[in-house]
Structure 1
Amino acid sequence: MQPTVHAFEDNQALAAALSARIANDLRAAIAARGEAWMAVSGGSTPKRLFERLSHEALDWSRVTVTLVDERWVPDTDERSNARLIESLLLRHNAADAEFVPLYVEAATPEAGIGEVRTRISAMKLPFDVVVLGMGPDGHTASFFPGGDRLAEALDPANAAQVLPMRAPGAGEPRITFTLPVLLKARALYLHIEGADKRVVLQHAEQSGSQLPIASVLRRASHLDVYWCP
């Protein structure tokens, strides 16, 4: 499957376009099912997107937001993706949205996985919207090269919805949704910025690529890539 690539001059134009697209997806989900479920990525790339999305006019009280993956740190830590969501997305119009964090108060993701799975079991999947990111090493979600549970996380036959993940390039231990869960999203987006990441994506599109993002490209039935230099 070849993804649909939407290219923009800068991140401001990208954020405006992707924010509008996501808002339409959420409105459609609310109209169809009375609620909407969205999973987003952390990191530095989506900051402008979150700021823009927080102003979109829709019934945010019917929207539940969670994360594609999370570093195993509390939201008091500046590395926390939950902290990013709470400070940039869950304000203005979007302040009425419900947020479901993936981190729980346990020493390790392995110790907390049971509680996380209980939280996930209350979600009404599939997600209406999933927004993925990608690192320069080709990772997406917490599917890192060399990850201790990478094969399990990418396995299309794996029934687990979330897994712990540890990898040399991951920094902290992580918790991540598995690929099968993410691929079932009604709308699946990949948000990347910079010429270097476009090159990484082109490498991932090549036959035989072992980059984790290549698994998304190979198995997704639909994928919209939003990119700017």
Structure 2
Amino acid sequence: MRQSIYQNTDALNQDFASKIVAILAQAIEQKGKASLLVSGGRTPLPLFKALSQSELDWAKVTISLADERWVSADDDASNEKLVRANLLQGNASVANFIGMKTDHEDANDGLSELNERYASMSWPVDVLILGMGEDGHTASLFPCSEQIEQGLNTADKLLAVQPTTAPHQRMSFSLKAILESEHIFLHLTGESKKAVLEEALAGDNALEMPIRAVLQNADVELVWAP
């Protein structure tokens, strides 16, 4: 695991945004398009705002999510709502966005439609930004869920997940899809997340802490600030 450590979150967000934009710009130059998967939560909000103000041919970028809660896009728990309000603004307002929620009541019933949506996305993804929970979950690969073995082993890109320690059914990219990404970043802030990461690095049971499966099988860059 490579590490980019910053003195504060302001320095992190400005440098990280520049790094992401450079990768996306190179992809556009080489392929004519680029793709970016992001995660939800509070941590990436300042990063999203920095990205939204960055100079890039955003019309050639497709943005989507690493995972999503199975709620409507206007629900406060929706990652799509968060991304639309913070990332798809300013210069980035012209980017293409693929939502990870369908009108189906059960996430399992939406898999077919979502697979069709993602067929239009540039794959493998150029940039994937992951977060991590206090339990070592990443995307919606929760150690508490019945679907965790499926998520770590399936050849499918997507799976529906029902956590037992968090609300809402989820849709998540699988470990296989995550590992296929060209550039994988783990974006964390704060000492508590650093301690969780150190615990993850000290063991190898991915069923207990799914982030281990990513760290063990991919070239991941940690981006961290206190």
Q: Is the pair's TM-score, using the shorter chain for normalization, greater than 0.5? A: yes
Letter in structure 2 aligned against 1:164: A
> Corresponding residue for 1:226?
223
User: Aligned pair 1:159/2:155, yes or no?
Assistant: yes
> Corresponding residue for 1:17?
15
Instruction: After the TM superposition, list the runs of 4 or more consecutive aligned residues in structure 1 that deviate by more than 6 angstroms.
Output: none
User: Aligned pair 1:110/2:113, yes or no?
Assistant: no
- 1:111 to partner: Cα distance: 1.8
Cα distance between partner residues in 2 of 1:79 and 1:145: 21
User: Aligned pair 1:127/2:130, yes or no?
Assistant: no
Say whether the 8 Å CA contact 2:33–2:122 is kept in structure 1.
Answer: no
Say whether the 8 Å CA contact 1:51–1:89 is kept in structure 2.
Answer: yes
Letter in structure 1 aligned against 2:106: T
User: Aligned pair 1:74/2:72, yes or no?
Assistant: yes
Cα distance between partner residues in 1 of 2:48 and 2:203: 34
> Corresponding residue for 2:43?
45
How many residues end up aligned between the 2 structures?
A: 224
2:128 is paired with a residue of what secondary structure?
A: strand
User: Aligned pair 1:198/2:213, yes or no?
Assistant: no
- 1:207 to partner: Cα distance: 3.2
Root-mean-square deviation (CA, aligned residues, Å) is: 0.9
- 1:193 to partner: Cα distance: 0.8
Cα distance between partner residues in 1 of 2:114 and 2:80: 14
Moved more, 161-170 or 65-74: 161-170
> Corresponding residue for 1:56?
54
1:159 is paired with a residue of what secondary structure?
A: coil
Structure 1 length-normalised TM: 0.95
Deviations 1:176-204 (A, max 9, x none): 01111111111110001110100110111
- 1:166 to partner: Cα distance: 0.6
> Corresponding residue for 1:145?
143
2:213 is paired with a residue of what secondary structure?
A: helix
- 1:121 to partner: Cα distance: 2.1
User: Aligned pair 1:175/2:174, yes or no?
Assistant: no
Cα distance between partner residues in 1 of 2:13 and 2:146: 34
Cα distance between partner residues in 2 of 1:10 and 1:124: 33
User: Aligned pair 1:101/2:99, yes or no?
Assistant: yes
Say whether the 8 Å CA contact 1:128–1:186 is kept in structure 2.
Answer: yes
- 1:116 to partner: Cα distance: 1.1
Say whether the 8 Å CA contact 1:144–1:170 is kept in structure 2.
Answer: no
Deviations 1:138-161 (A, max 9, x none): 110001112121111111xx2211
Structure 2 length-normalised TM: 0.97
- What runs of 5+ residues in structure 1 fail to find an aligned partner? none
Deviations 1:118-152 (A, max 9, x none): 11222221000000001111110001112121111
